[in-house]
Amino acid sequence: MQWGIIIIVSLLYLLLLFGLAYWAEQKAEQKSHFINSPYIYALSLAVYCTAWTYYGSIGRASHTGYDFLLIYLGPTLSMPLWWFMMRKIIRIAKIQNIFSLADLIATRYGKNVTLGAIVSIFTVLGVIPYLALQIKAISETFTLLLDYPKNYARNPVFLDYGFYITLVMAIFTIYFGTRRLDLTRRNEGMVFAIAFESIFKLLAFLVAGTYVVFVVFDGFSDIFQKAFEQKELQKILYFQDSAKNQAWEWFLIGLASLFAVMFLPRQFQMAVVENKSEKHLEKAIWLFPLYLLLINIFVLPVALAGKLKFGDSIDADIYILAFPLQNNNYSLALLTYLGGFAASTSMLIVASLALSLMLTNNLFIPLSIRMGVTQYFKDKQWGKWVLYIRRASIMLVLILAYWYLYTAFDLPLVSIGLVSFVAVSQFAPAVIGGLYWKEATHKGALAGIVLGFAVWFYTLIVPNFVEAGLLSKSIMQEGLFGMSWLRPQSLFGLEFSPVAHSLFWSLFFNITAYVAISAFTSQNSQERNQAELFVDIFKYADSYDEAVIWKGIAHKKNLEELLARFVGENKAKNLLNEFEQKNQGKLYADEAERNAKLVKYAEKILATAIGSTSARILVASVVQEEMLTQEEVLKILKETQELKKLNFELKKADALKNEFISTVTHELKTPITSIRSLSEILYENPDLESTQREHFLKTVISETERMERLINQVLELEKFESGKQKLHLTTQNLNEIVKEAIRIYESIIAEKKIQFSTQLSQEPLWSEVDKDRILQVILNFLSNAVKFAKTKIIVSSYSKQNFIEIAVLDDGKGVPAELKDAIFEKFFQAENQNNRKPKGSGLGLAISKKIIQYHKGSIGVEQEQGMTKFYFRLFRTLSLDLSETSSDNTTILKPTT
């Protein structure tokens, strides 16, 4: 194929990518739902699938069969974990302004600068070869298209295709990844472009796979049938090559990919930093595994097809591209190439951005501060410096990757992806421990990570050096210093594949050091503070500002100067004015509390530009801080939580009170309306007939009484609720009180033509009660029953062991089970039946409940034999003699609930 065509097609593709990203940026400004959709988020996670997936999976499958799937099985199995762990990380990251894994680890362990720097450097070391692999894939496939079946050879830099592609990637990333100083703003354009690349590479791979399986061969069964006839392929398909510890091997590699899908810089960037809503996780949890499934469907068939067709004559990694080239199908070859190109470029873009943020916030900014280059920065210069560093870091990362590819050209790049997986797995203990274990210390984390990396380096990188002839072969065979238990690929005699072996030992030492040293060292106050915040983030989420403990003296002028160096003098002034306005009129315990608020506010603004660790050291440099002890931090934290709870309860009580007042006034309006209207009639019509006049006046009087009753009830309830109500207890026969109540209601019942009966206990029911109050409760029950009964009412009383039950039953429509408790709340009817009018004041049952509670009894409603039964139960006084000793007891009794 002509090189011009390939280059033009590649450039057109990149142009499309720029266009899409630019379009998405514009759309995002308009708050488009499409750009913010969970589908874009889920697709952007598929940046996980790089050229190593696109080409490498087939290569791996052709050598070792099914185990390529582990790289996707790990992430799939990790998905439920996302709902717990990733959600927690996302929440912490949003609240604390965390923009990379290094930020996360440094912040958790007390905003420890050393830890952040070490994590950044190790990540770069671990991931650069992986980036190099992407560039190599682009160059290699380019060469193939140009000159099939000639292989990629080292060109002078300036004639190398990969070099220029790397440059374009740097420009893209700088343009769309460093548009703003404020890191809390998402890079919608870039994310959208990556989502597009995810779809593109999947479609290209599926088309190419379909071509191989259904055009070159006769479908899946054709390939598998032919494969089963070959001895060598049988071995792959039947697991005949299985290693001794196959289960362990698979477990370890699956584990590494499980960590990788969360902690690789590009994955963290997409899953956490670019996340718009925790809810998006719900979709991602099933969409992302689905994507992984789809992109793997053709891997094994194409691998077998390649073996059948080409054998070992060409590199198995390029089978998918070799088929169309072999058959001179150039347009398909171009499409396949572009799919791989998409896979490579998406990783280059996201990883370089993520690494640059990591290096900027955790290495270069702290270094700039320490070296003093920044202290003379004036208006906005600091902010510009940060942007320059970010851009330079992107260039640096990509150039490092290219340099690695160029100098280590002859080093084997096989399974370099897995080497990176093992590298980032070293962060897993510190991150997971940090999220769930409050006692973990920064010394433990540091020791674990450093030791883990040392083991990783010795077991995975040193053998590469040996192979390239940089180190003596004797290390591999006889071990370091001739000690055979120190052989890099079988430490202590363990015989695993290199990757599984390395993961096992690195994690073993990592976790051991992390746990042991954490147990033996103590935390400083800031570390303790963060440990609490991380582990209990959901508890502190809405009071985060109060939960960061700071004590000291700060001058507004110094903070304003500092801010101005980032965002400009005017903006700094505005931001601080905003703070003043927001806090105007707020009461602070003392000046110190106000100081703390201001410091945290300024630090938060700075953190959006340079991450929380760097913001911390910068702010610390302009204020006087007081050292706190661990105990002080914990004490203050506890106090803020208690205060928050108290505040919440106060607010709730306030809302209830307001609602009560509005209901009471509402209830008063009905009688007032009648009174007013009727009085106006009486006033304006002096010549009314005397009977009508009398009737109107009577109504006015009865409506006035109604108001009076309501007001009395409100006051009564208030007295009960505030505990001021007194009971006058005497020993009474409750049967007598029931009879008295019935006498009062007799005429009304007769009028209503309701069938009425009593089932009263034969023996007297003695109990110590306030007679008038209990009468009130029974009357309340009766009045409700009369209102709702259709045909009959029964009043019953009986005693059982030591309690007495009095009940009124009616055959009305009854109370739905779910409202059984609510019906005893004040104004229950009014608030729950919104537009339906309550019968009665709505306070009767509430007062009855209070009365019974004051008697230490119980009150309730239930359905019984098709009737609604309102009842209360009181303690029975067994004999009169016993009760007399306490009959003069008229003290205040508190309700039991």
Partner 1 sequence: MPMKVLIVDDEPNILMSLDFLMRKEGYEVFVARNGTEALESIQNHLPDVVLLDIMMPDVDGYEICRFIKSNPETENSKVIFISAKSKESDIKKGYEIGADFYITKPFTNKQIVNKVKELFITS
Q: What 8-state DSSP symbol labels residue 212?
A: I
Cα separation of 521 and 443, whole Å? 7
Tell me whether residue 687 or residue 888 sits nearer to partner 1 (CB atom).
687
Residues 233/307, Cβ–Cβ less than 8 Å:
yes
Tell me whether residue 327 or residue 673 sits nearer to partner 1 (CB atom).
673
Q: Please state whether beta strands 755-759 and 624-625 pair in parallel, antiparallel, or not at all (unpaired).
A: unpaired
- The amino acid sitting at 208 is A
> Could you tell me the smallest distance in angstroms from the CB atom of residue 748 to partner 1?
16
Residue located via tokens 């940046």: 47
- From residue 796, alpha-carbon distances to 368, 866, 869, 871 in Å are 87, 16, 10, 9
Tell me whether residue 726 or residue 787 sits nearer to partner 1 (CB atom).
787
* Buried b / exposed e along 617-654 (16+ C-beta atoms within 10 A): ebbeebbeeeebebebbbebbeebbeebeeeeeeeeee
> Could you tell me the smallest distance in angstroms from the CB atom of residue 690 to partner 1?
15
Give how many residues touch partner 1 by CB under 8 A.
20
> Could you tell me the smallest distance in angstroms from the CB atom of residue 349 to partner 1?
51
> Could you tell me the smallest distance in angstroms from the CB atom of residue 667 to partner 1?
9
Stated as kind and residue range, the H or E segment containing 62 is helix 57-64
Cα separation of 325 and 143, whole Å? 12
**SS3 call for 864:** strand
Q: Which of 25, 140, 546, 703 binds partner 1 (CB under 8 A)?
A: 703
Q: Which stretch binds partner 1 (CB under 8 A): 86-94, 218-226, 258-266, 677-685?
A: 677-685
How many CA atoms are closer than 13 Å to the CA of 32, on its beta-carbon side?
Answer: 13
> Could you tell me the smallest distance in angstroms from the CB atom of residue 841 to partner 1?
13
Q: Which stretch binds partner 1 (CB under 8 A): 333-341, 447-455, 630-638, 695-703?
A: 695-703
> Could you tell me the smallest distance in angstroms from the CB atom of residue 746 to partner 1?
23
> Could you tell me the smallest distance in angstroms from the CB atom of residue 703 to partner 1?
6
Q: Which of 674, 731, 761, 887 binds partner 1 (CB under 8 A)?
A: 674
684 binds partner 1 (CB under 8 A): yes
Residues 23/384, Cβ–Cβ less than 8 Å:
no
Q: Who contacts 37 (Cβ-Cβ below 8 Å, separation ≥6)?
A: none
> Could you tell me the smallest distance in angstroms from the CB atom of residue 828 to partner 1?
14
Q: Please state whether beta strands 792-800 and 803-810 pair in parallel, antiparallel, or not at all (unpaired).
A: antiparallel
Chain residues 643-672 in contact with partner 1, contact rule CB under 8 A: 666, 669-670, 672
> Could you tell me the smallest distance in angstroms from the CB atom of residue 666 to partner 1?
6
Q: What angle do CA 282, 102, 250 make, to 5 degrees?
A: 60
- From residue 375, alpha-carbon distances to 120, 610, 622 in Å are 24, 16, 11
Cα separation of 482 and 475, whole Å? 7
> Could you tell me the smallest distance in angstroms from the CB atom of residue 540 to partner 1?
36
Tell me whether residue 690 or residue 891 sits nearer to partner 1 (CB atom).
690
Cα separation of 691 and 640, whole Å? 69
Cα separation of 489 and 500, whole Å? 10
Cα separation of 749 and 738, whole Å? 15
> Could you tell me the smallest distance in angstroms from the CB atom of residue 592 to partner 1?
44
Closest CA to 125 of 456, 493, 603: 456
680 binds partner 1 (CB under 8 A): yes
Q: Which of 407, 673, 759, 791 binds partner 1 (CB under 8 A)?
A: 673
- From residue 531, alpha-carbon distances to 438, 439, 519, 607, 642 in Å are 5, 7, 14, 19, 19
Q: Which stretch binds partner 1 (CB under 8 A): 510-518, 524-532, 595-603, 679-687?
A: 679-687
> Could you tell me the smallest distance in angstroms from the CB atom of residue 680 to partner 1?
5
Task: Return phi, psi of residue 725, to 5°.
Answer: -70, 140
Tell me whether residue 150 or residue 837 sits nearer to partner 1 (CB atom).
837
Torsional sign, CA 480, 486, 489, 493: positive
> Could you tell me the smallest distance in angstroms from the CB atom of residue 675 to partner 1?
8
Tell me whether residue 503 or residue 789 sits nearer to partner 1 (CB atom).
789
677 binds partner 1 (CB under 8 A): yes
Tell me whether residue 454 or residue 678 sits nearer to partner 1 (CB atom).
678
Tell me whether residue 698 or residue 728 sits nearer to partner 1 (CB atom).
698
Tell me whether residue 666 or residue 790 sits nearer to partner 1 (CB atom).
666
Cα separation of 216 and 814, whole Å? 76
How many CA atoms are closer than 13 Å to the CA of 524, on its beta-carbon side?
Answer: 11
Cα separation of 189 and 700, whole Å? 73
> Could you tell me the smallest distance in angstroms from the CB atom of residue 208 to partner 1?
60
678 binds partner 1 (CB under 8 A): yes
> Could you tell me the smallest distance in angstroms from the CB atom of residue 689 to partner 1?
11
Q: Which of 230, 699, 704, 887 binds partner 1 (CB under 8 A)?
A: 699
Tell me whether residue 193 or residue 843 sits nearer to partner 1 (CB atom).
843
Tell me whether residue 752 or residue 800 sits nearer to partner 1 (CB atom).
752
Q: What 8-state DSSP symbol labels residue 748?
A: H
> Could you tell me the smallest distance in angstroms from the CB atom of residue 871 to partner 1?
25
691 binds partner 1 (CB under 8 A): no
**SS3 call for 893:** coil
Tell me whether residue 685 or residue 759 sits nearer to partner 1 (CB atom).
685
Q: Is the peptide bond before 149 cis (omega within 30 degrees of 0)?
A: yes
Q: Which of 290, 681, 701, 744 binds partner 1 (CB under 8 A)?
A: 681
Q: What 8-state DSSP symbol labels residue 825?
A: S
Tell me whether residue 162 or residue 671 sits nearer to partner 1 (CB atom).
671
Tell me whether residue 684 or residue 751 sits nearer to partner 1 (CB atom).
684
Residue located via tokens 């009425």: 756
Tell me whether residue 142 or residue 696 sits nearer to partner 1 (CB atom).
696
Stated as kind and residue range, the H or E segment containing 625 is strand 624-625
Residues 18/174, Cβ–Cβ less than 8 Å:
no
22: its two tokens: 């630019």
329 binds partner 1 (CB under 8 A): no
689 binds partner 1 (CB under 8 A): no
> Could you tell me the smallest distance in angstroms from the CB atom of residue 651 to partner 1?
21
Tell me whether residue 630 or residue 699 sits nearer to partner 1 (CB atom).
699
How many CA atoms are closer than 13 Å to the CA of 309, on its beta-carbon side?
Answer: 24
676 binds partner 1 (CB under 8 A): yes
Chain residues 506-525 in contact with partner 1, contact rule CB under 8 A: none
Chain residues 188-227 in contact with partner 1, contact rule CB under 8 A: none
Cα separation of 323 and 303, whole Å? 11
Instruction: Assign residue 312 a region (left: φ > 0; alpha: ψ between -120 and 50; beta: otherwise).
Output: alpha
Chain residues 820-839 in contact with partner 1, contact rule CB under 8 A: 835-837, 839
Tell me whether residue 624 or residue 702 sits nearer to partner 1 (CB atom).
702
Q: Which stretch binds partner 1 (CB under 8 A): 312-320, 346-354, 676-684, 751-759?
A: 676-684
824: its two tokens: 């005893």
Tell me whether residue 67 or residue 703 sits nearer to partner 1 (CB atom).
703
> Could you tell me the smallest distance in angstroms from the CB atom of residue 674 to partner 1?
4
**SS3 call for 555:** coil
**Binding track over 834-873 against partner 1, x by CB under 8 A:** -xxx-x----------------------------------
Q: Which stretch binds partner 1 (CB under 8 A): 79-87, 248-256, 270-278, 674-682?
A: 674-682
Footprint on this chain of partner 1 (rule: CB under 8 A):
666, 669-670, 672-674, 676-678, 680-681, 684-685, 696, 699, 703, 835-837, 839
